[in-house]
Amino acid sequence: MRPFAYARADDVDTAIATVLARPDGEFLAGGTTEIDLVRQDVLRPGLLVDINDLPLDRVDDLPDGGVRIGGLARMSDVAEAPGVAERFPVISEALLQGASPQLRTMASMAGNLCQRVRCGYFRDAVSPCNKRDPGSGCAAITGFHRGHAVLGTSDKCIATHPSDAAVALVALDAVVRTRGPHGERAVPIDEFFLLPGDTPEREHPLEHGELITAIDVPGAATARRSSYLKVRDRASYEFALVSVAAAMDVRYRTVADIRLALGGVATKPWRARTAERSLLGGPATREAFAEAARRELAPATPLPQNEFKVELAQRAIVRALTALADGDEEGGTR
């Protein structure tokens, strides 16, 4: 491991100023991903500023029925918070399926959103990788890419975003709140994650020294009827091949509201807007779900090893939506 300086901060302004004082300064929260990458010589910070003492770990109800999640709230605490588990089960389920209990106890929500990709070529520190070394190429395109993206790719990068929680938050139109050298701002979460395009090294719009202080999830009655489906190679502690965050309101067997996002198949948490438009106002039937899924995956650009993800994603969408629709019928929904 390369040597680096270490500092602690107990207020937000001090933390930001300390990071800004050095161009190679970085924030350190749970460290469940960051420390691994430092050890692997993928990240090379000159200074790590420990922000665990900052008062950003609360989970509070909002007046509109939503919830504000502190940037330093631990995944385990958020998953168990009554305001989340009762009103936004898709978030709780995504968090519980996103990591082992040990990691959930350490990992922060902001860190989870900003975690780096799990592509082996990015993490080996020597292979060509445009995220790690812009302009060097993408080894995954011609190498092993079974777990890589089929949506939102470019000729510069095909790595999938690894966060489960981010998929649920994208489905629910969350807002990321930050504070940095230019003050505070609010970023809609679907704009927080960037497609690789020609700049795959830039994964989010955060500036140097900009800190995520909170994540706001707006109130939505539809969110109470929501779920997270994760398909993976093994039953626990594994990243998604495909995941589906879904919330749906069915009235008189018609889709009155629908929120849908996909994980494991795209270079960012993927809001399935094509499928949503196809379903809204139409019948809540398995056939309609299948057609919407087909339309959503139509633009996919798979490679030989990951083309199975196209059909797998379609089947996962149908399974998730059918379960929600069946639950509505069993509960006597209109």
- CATH number of the structural domain spanning residue 231: 3.30.390.50
pLDDT value, residue 219:
95
Helix (H, G, I), strand (E, B) or coil at 302: coil
Residue 152's contacts (CB-CB under 8 Å, 6 or more residues apart) are 195, 196, 266, 267, 268, 270
What pLDDT score does 331 carry? Answer: 42
Please check whether residue 240 lies inside any domain of the structure.
yes
- Residue 210 has what pLDDT? 98
Predicted pLDDT of residue 329: 53
Q: Is 30 a domain residue?
A: yes
Give pLDDT < 50 ranges for the chain. Answer: 330-334
| Nearest in space to 231 (alpha carbons), one of 147, 297, 292, 151 | 147
Q: What is the CATH number of the domain that holds 11?
A: 3.30.43.10
- Report pLDDT for 1: 67
- Could you tell me the pTM of the whole model? 0.95
Note whether residue 75 is domain-resident: no
Contacts of 63 (CB under 8 A, 6+ apart): none
What was the pLDDT predicted at 296? 98
What three-state secondary structure class fits 5? strand
Does residue 36 fall inside a structural domain?
Answer: yes
- Which residues form the domain of 249? 226-330
Helix (H) or strand (E) holding 168: helix 165-171
Residue 97 lies in a domain: no
Position 59 scores a pLDDT of 98
- Quote the number of domains for the chain: 2
Q: What is the pLDDT of residues 174-216, one digit of tens each?
A: 999 999 999 999 999 999 999 999 999 999 999 999 999 999 9
d(CA 295, CA 277): 10
- What is residue 138's three-state secondary structure? strand
